[in-house]
């Protein structure tokens, strides 16, 4: 059976010669692989729930002692564990998910296109991880500011669902926004914009970056806003430099 499966895979038609049914079958295969990886990683995250929760709770522990998260219902504990397992499983399975996307897309790319796609994907993964790390490292300062702005008359008792939603959303937003230079460089490569145009838009870009960072930061604190706006402007300047190098 193994040689037969290998022969069928080897004689697989080219992407431009595949029928609609064959394309749908390929999508189904990639979705099945992704679902299995997501389920397996979700189980792993469910088992290591205490360690993952402690990791996400660490910024809170830097501000409050004791750093306890309070639940108000008997089913809240299992719902928090399932939520953490979902977040953790999605993170752990992300390499497999990206690989399945790559396996579906790459047969249709030409050799020259693959040469650009590989570094773009690699840089995108690194920047997304870097953005999440920046959000995580600055989250304790955001919590301290949010506690102080409420005044000393409030005693902070955090709900785990609200807390986890906030920190995960903040890390996801930072990760996505850190893809900003990848987008700019791609636009420069296809000549939608030029480095000289980006240079002339520098002042407006600075204002726009600050406004966007202030609007999309879910915690609405100045620390998170600056932690997002400053790297984005640095990325903007780096994109101009990279664009000039690529044009040469």
My answer on whether 104 and 138 are in the same domain is: no
My answer on whether 169 and 192 are in the same domain is: yes
* Mean residue pLDDT across the chain: 84
Domain extent for 231: 111-248
Residue 3 has pLDDT above 60, yes or no: no
Which of 80, 108, 136 finishes a domain?
108
My answer on whether 97 and 133 are in the same domain is: no
Which of 108, 131, 154 finishes a domain?
108
My answer on whether 174 and 212 are in the same domain is: yes
My answer on whether 87 and 138 are in the same domain is: no
Percent of the chain with pLDDT over 90: 31
| Residue 24, in any domain of the structure | yes
Q: Which of 9-18, 183-192, 209-218 is predicted least confidently?
A: 9-18
Q: What's the pLDDT score for residue 7?
A: 44
My answer on whether 236 and 129 are in the same domain is: yes
Q: Which of 46-55, 78-87, 144-153 is predicted least confidently?
A: 144-153
Band (143; pLDDT cuts 50, 70, 90): confident
CA–CA distance, 207 with 54 (Å, rounded to integer): 37
| Residue 3, in any domain of the structure | no
My answer on whether 206 and 88 are in the same domain is: no
Q: What's the pLDDT score for residue 6?
A: 41
| Residue 7, phi then psi, degrees to nearest 5 | -65, -40
Percent of the chain with pLDDT over 70: 90
Q: What mean pLDDT is predicted for residues 13-31? A: 73
My answer on whether 164 and 192 are in the same domain is: yes
My answer on whether 159 and 234 are in the same domain is: yes
């Amino acid at each position: 059976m193994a040689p037969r499966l290998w022969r069928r895979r080897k004689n697989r038609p080219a992407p431009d010669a595949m029928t609609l049914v064959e394309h749908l079958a390929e999508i189904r295969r990639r979705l099945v692989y992704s679902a299995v990886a997501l389920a397996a990683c979700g189980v792993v995250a469910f088992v290591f729930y205490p360690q993952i929760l402690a990791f996400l709770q660490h910024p809170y522990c830097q501000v409050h002692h004791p750093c306890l998260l309070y639940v108000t219902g008997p089913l809240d504990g299992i719902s928090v564990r399932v939520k953490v397992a979902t977040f953790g499983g999605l993170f752990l399975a992300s390499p497999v998910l990206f690989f399945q996307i790559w396996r579906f897309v790459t047969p249709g790319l030409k050799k020259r296109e693959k040469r650009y796609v590989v570094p773009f994907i690699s840089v995108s993964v690194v920047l997304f991880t870097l953005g999440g790390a920046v959000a995580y490292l600055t989250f304790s300062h955001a919590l301290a500011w949010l506690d102080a702005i409420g005044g000393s008359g409030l005693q902070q008792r955090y709900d785990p669902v609200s807390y986890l939603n906030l920190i995960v959303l903040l890390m996801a937003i930072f990760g996505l926004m850190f893809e900003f230079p990848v987008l700019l460089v791609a636009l420069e490569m296809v000549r939608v914009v030029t480095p000289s145009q980006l240079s002339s838009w520098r002042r407006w870009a600075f204002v726009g970056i600050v406004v966007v960072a202030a609007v999309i930061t879910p915690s609405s604190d100045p620390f998170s806003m600056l932690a997002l706006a400053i790297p984005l402007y640095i990325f903007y300047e780096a994109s101009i430099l990279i664009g000039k190098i690529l044009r040469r």
